[in-house]
Structure 1
Amino acid sequence: MEIGQRIRELRAAQAMSQDDLAARVYVSRQTISSWENGKTYPDVQSLLQLSDIFDVTVDSLIKGDVDTMTETIDRDVQTMKRLSYVMTVFILLMVAALIWLSVQLSVWDWSLEQTVPTAVLALVLWGVAMFAEVWADRIKRDHDLITYQEILSFWHGEPVDRDTERGRRERLIPRWMRVIRTIGMALIAAAIGAFVGYWGASLAEMLLG
């Protein structure tokens, strides 16, 4: 993987730190480190910015890595799409399980012991959805995708524009705060699922009653 070595050499030649380069390409320092260590590759927009910053051609940057870069990025895009489908399907299944649980409790008046398998099923479905979310979040982190527009561009294989007001604002937020926000959104999703399940059971009770 020559591109990582090329970025490191060109950065050193201009006496730039990883933080300096990250600020000019609108990515995190960790992303620059991943590029230089061959863990991930720059996208098209980042390559154009790097070629401009270092005053070299894109071809001289990527050299023989173009096929590997394309395969890696395409694989990550496809993985993100599959994970998105998994999250959607399992969250819907979780909601269905919560509705079924509410029917068992409210309509059929089952005991808590009898509803344990359904509750466990709902929890497992939620866990699978959250596992897919964490995996997708790791891919987004590897490619430094913060905003919805950046994710959408990456999804469709388009250049990712990180130099936006929202992108700059989001990148100023510490990572630990973004993690807490993600956990909060997951808990809210679970609460919404429980709410839908409760009202679904109430509707079922009305129809059956």
Structure 2
Amino acid sequence: MELGQKLKERRITLGKTQQQMATELHVTRQTVSHWENNDTYPSLDMLVTLSDYLGFSLDTTLKEEGTDMIDSINKSLEEGKKYKKIVRILVICVIVFLCFISILTYGRATQNQLIDRYNPFFKESYGYAVLTEKVTMKKMNGTEQVTEKNGKHKTKKSSLICHNQWTLT
């Protein structure tokens, strides 16, 4: 006798509906239906719970069912192990990446030349710029201060009339 038929017969013998059984086992009604139609098999821990709930021997059931159910359960366990390994690898990669970014951030914040040397996001370069002949600073209240190349300061009247703020032009 297949597991699905056995589950259905035992459930009916106990006078339970699929919904009542699902509620008491903390699964959905569709899950119970899939078990009874042999679309899917319960997990190993759920098989133990079902054998206690419905009162049948798990040993004889597994021996009668054959290798299809056991192979299906083993396959699902193997897939679970594979996904667990993938998740572990992804978590390790994220941790390594966060450590790398943290070290680069620390190096930039402390101006650590050793760390900044390997920072691919930060290139520091030094250069020189040629200043113009004169720098003009305007005071917004109508005067203009000019600093020439030789260091002399001149003050001129300007047509701009505003508050007492300085702007560099």
When normalised by structure 1's length, the TM-score is: 0.42
Between structure 1 and structure 2, the one with the greater Rg is: 2
Richer in helix (by share) = 1
TM-score (norm 2): 0.50
More strand by share: 2
